[in-house]
Amino acid sequence: MTWRADILTLLPGIFPGPLGFSLAGRALQEEVWSCRVHDLRPYGLGRHRALDDTPFGGGAGMVMRPDVLDHALSDITSGDETGRPVIYPTPRGRRATQKDVVRLAEGAGVVMLCGRFEGVDERVLEKYDVQQLCLGDFVLSGGEIPALALLDGCVRLLPGVMGSSLSGEEESFSDGLLEYPQYTRPAEWEGRSVPSVLLSGHHGDIARWRQKESEVVTRERRPDLWAAYCQQSLS
Ligand SMILES: C[S@@+](CC[C@H](N)C(=O)[O-])C[C@H]1O[C@@H](n2cnc3c(N)ncnc32)[C@H](O)[C@@H]1O
């Protein structure tokens, strides 16, 4: 069955963008997944098809109106019995993880709501039980790039999209650790050698070396992941 992505955006031309290339692009052509893009502008109000208004309580910028987004979301989700979640990428969301993309890829698809301006009126997020995910602790100008990133993370996990299913299992985050360093030919390059264990052909030694390197890099670069990994190993 085709994994379905419906995207609500003020900038429909952005999609599928990079997802039209490489693995995701091929999967799109082969209908492993579908990408339906919905322009929010026609749902806007008045002569200027406005989607936004000033924030109650004052402050800078504009907020996307709940009535306008409700109209668009109900049009797109009505009659859909797949139970696909509505995702709103936002800096106010929980930090997205590999577990989230695995969970989403295992479902029937997603409805992505791309924010602009200062964001979306809270009430429409409540009404649709919207899942709010943050891409990182920095602010982008719109939800389109986070939506593309989350979709890419999901699509590559769909059955048949990646060449080897093992490449998904051994990646960073899959076991709570960052990945070990990677090397390829030539074995000697600009006076730098590949670690000899990788040329030994001894699978057990290679696996132990990779595990140790994963642990070292995770401890150094991501103390948060390392703490969670240690906690999980104890339990
Ligand atoms: C300029 S931002 C709004 C930021 C918002 N006023 C705040 O301080 O949380 C406009 C839109 O970009 C998207 N966005 C920006 N940064 C993001 C991030 N780190 N993760 C996910 N979405 C983000 C969201 O959809 C957001 O509604």
- Cα(149)–Cα(155) distance, integer angstroms: 10
Per-residue pLDDT tens listing for the chain (235 residues):
999 999 999 999 999 999 999 999 999 999 999 999 999 999 999 999 999 999 999 999 999 999 999 999 999 999 999 999 999 999 999 999 999 999 999 999 999 999 999 999 999 999 999 999 999 999 999 999 999 999 999 999 999 999 865 566 778 898 999 999 999 999 999 999 999 999 999 999 999 999 999 999 999 999 999 999 999 988 8
64 near 9, Cβ under 8 Å? Answer: no
The verdict on the CB of residue 64 being under 6 Å from ligand 1 is no
Cα-to-centroid distance, 107 and ligand 1 (Å)? 25
**Does ligand 1 lie within 6 Å of residue 60's CB atom?**
no
Q: Are 96 and 134 in contact (CB under 8 A)?
A: yes
Q: How far is the CA of 72 from the centre of ligand 1 (A)?
A: 20
Beta-bridge mates of residue 50: 45
- Looking at residue 212, its amino acid is K
Predicted TM-score (pTM) of this structure = 0.96
Per-residue HEC secondary structure of 77-141 comes to HCCCCCCCCEEEEEEEEEECCHHHHHHHHHCCEEEEECCCCCCECHHHHHHCCCEEEECCCCCCC
